[in-house]
Structure 1
Amino acid sequence: MIAVPSPPKASPGASLLAFQQWLSPAFPTGGFAYSQGMEGPMAARELRDAAGVGDYLADILRFGSGRVDATLLCHAALGDSDADALADLALALAPTAERLREIREIGAAITALTNALNGTAHPPRPHAVALGVAARGLDLPGAQLAAMFLQAQATTLVSAATRFIPLGQTEAQLALARLAPLILDLADEAARTPLEAIGSATFRADLASAAHETLDVRIFRT
């Protein structure tokens, strides 16, 4: 019997482009419609300039959803990890009803799109876990996946602030650029963090997300 060779893995460059495409604002997941509760502090004028937005986002990345999701992504990208258990953990760690809906809806969109692109049939899972599972065939280091993911998350929230406050384009990009060293550090850490060490402590952001559920006028879904 003649052995049929397995299909070659994508080159590192092609893998990077694929993952970047999945994180792009042009990828139709609806991620631009979510603010992770940041709309509340912006509406209350607690966040009114680039410095305030930068500090707020640094805390979310360092102590909140950024750290949690990047760690889940890194674990989900490992071929021998239990994706369903990671999905359950991601749902359990969602601090509010709106954050739960956000990670479910974006995750379902990402799963459907990457299944169509890659010829896979993964079930829908929360955002970070869905991305990690889809990235298993890319053979990219966890820290690299996490850095790109965190950059995309920060970009989405800076974009929300640019539209709502509003921030000038230059101010917004400077705020984003200043987060780069933190993003790289957190990405490296996420790739080494065991699941038992996962957790968050962003009470202001979590309370803002909970309050957003009853906000009278809302531009963002969360």
Structure 2
Amino acid sequence: MNDTLALARLLQLASPALPVGAYTYSQGLEWAVESGVIRDEAGAARWIGDLLAHAIGRFEAPLLARQMQAWRDTDHAEVLRLDADFLASRESAELRAETAQMGFSLRRLLRDLRDEGLAPVALVVDPLAEVAFPTVWSGIAATWGIAPHAAVVAYLWSWAENQVMAALKAVPLGQAAGQRLLATLGTRLPALADAALDLPEAAWSNFTPAFALACARHETQYSRLFRS
């Protein structure tokens, strides 16, 4: 695959049009708004930025990069080990259900794309009762020949964009505020991707207690827009 086609495929994977239902989740942000932790643009920037740096960038991103390498090496045992680790890392029932639902939807898309090159990925993930979203995403990215650094940047961008869109609805914020947030967050992504690619597994961490509590408390929040 040439670089231009790889870029097009990467944009497809990172697009909010990817039919996995990401827009229905806030990952605890809605509860942070309800509780007053997030009140405005500055609060949203702190919440999303801290989570990006201390959890998504230090656990989800390096795990995704390692899974891409495992897919390239056809090391399916490693792919499945990391899949189990990711599922076990979900601190609340909603977070677990989210990645399982999105993983299920992306696994279904493997067939709907009618791309014979993705058949080896489907062969590995189809027998699983549950599969994490990063597992299927990394398999597609690796098969499509997307460079690991670009893939991690795009994955982080997609997560950040979804969080900003949730903030626009829940705080609420204006469209210009959303673009300011994305511009600021975007400047941090290359360095986060660099760090994720080099981070040894022993240093991976998603220790963010406030995030875990927000996700758990959202499960019983009386009035809400998002599934998690």
Q: Percent of aligned pairs with the same residue?
A: 30
1:150-170 CA-to-partner distances (Å, cap 9, x unmatched) read 011000010011112110100
> Retained in 2: the 8 A contact 1:22–1:110?
no
Distance in 2 (CA, whole Å) between partners of 1:85 and 1:196 is: 15
Deviation at 1:72, TM superposition (A): 1.5
Distance in 2 (CA, whole Å) between partners of 1:65 and 1:131 is: 15
Q: Secondary structure at the match of 1:64?
A: helix
2:16 aligned with 1:25, yes or no? Answer: yes
Distance in 1 (CA, whole Å) between partners of 2:82 and 2:135 is: 7
The equivalent of 2:112 in structure 1 is 116
Greater relative contact order (CA < 8 Å, ≥ 6 in sequence): 2
Unaligned regions of 5+ residues in structure 2, if any?
none
Distance 1:15 1:114, change over 3 A: farther
**Residue 176 of structure 2, aligned match among 170, 175, 179:** 170
> Retained in 2: the 8 A contact 1:54–1:176?
no
Letter in 1 for 2:96: L
Alignment of 1:52-131 (within 5 A): 52-78=43-69, 79-80=72-73, 81=75, 82-117=78-113, 118-119=115-116, 120=119, 121-122=122-123, 123=125, 125-131=131-137
Letter in 2 for 1:137: T
Distance in 2 (CA, whole Å) between partners of 1:13 and 1:73 is: 22
What count of residue pairs does the alignment treat as equivalent? 213
1:46-90 CA-to-partner distances (Å, cap 9, x unmatched) read 212111111111111111134321111111111124211111011
Letter in 1 for 2:172: P
Q: Secondary structure at the match of 1:179?
A: helix
Q: Secondary structure at the match of 1:28?
A: coil
1:86-125 CA-to-partner distances (Å, cap 9, x unmatched) read 1101111112111111111111111221343223224252
Letter in 2 for 1:14: L
Deviation at 1:138, TM superposition (A): 2.2
The equivalent of 1:4 in structure 2 is none
> Retained in 2: the 8 A contact 1:87–1:129?
yes
Alignment of 1:113-152 (within 5 A): 113-117=109-113, 118-119=115-116, 120=119, 121-122=122-123, 123=125, 125-152=131-158
Q: Structure 1 length normalisation: TM-score?
A: 0.90
> Retained in 2: the 8 A contact 1:63–1:202?
yes
**Residue 185 of structure 1, aligned match among 188, 191, 212:** 191
For the aligned residue pairs, the C-alpha RMSD in angstroms reads 1.5
Distance in 1 (CA, whole Å) between partners of 2:146 and 2:199 is: 17
As a proportion of its length, which structure holds more helix? Answer: 2
Deviation at 1:131, TM superposition (A): 0.7
Distance in 1 (CA, whole Å) between partners of 2:41 and 2:191 is: 22
2:218 aligned with 1:209, yes or no? Answer: no
Q: Which ranges of 4 or more aligned residues in structure 1 deviate by more than 3 Å?
A: none
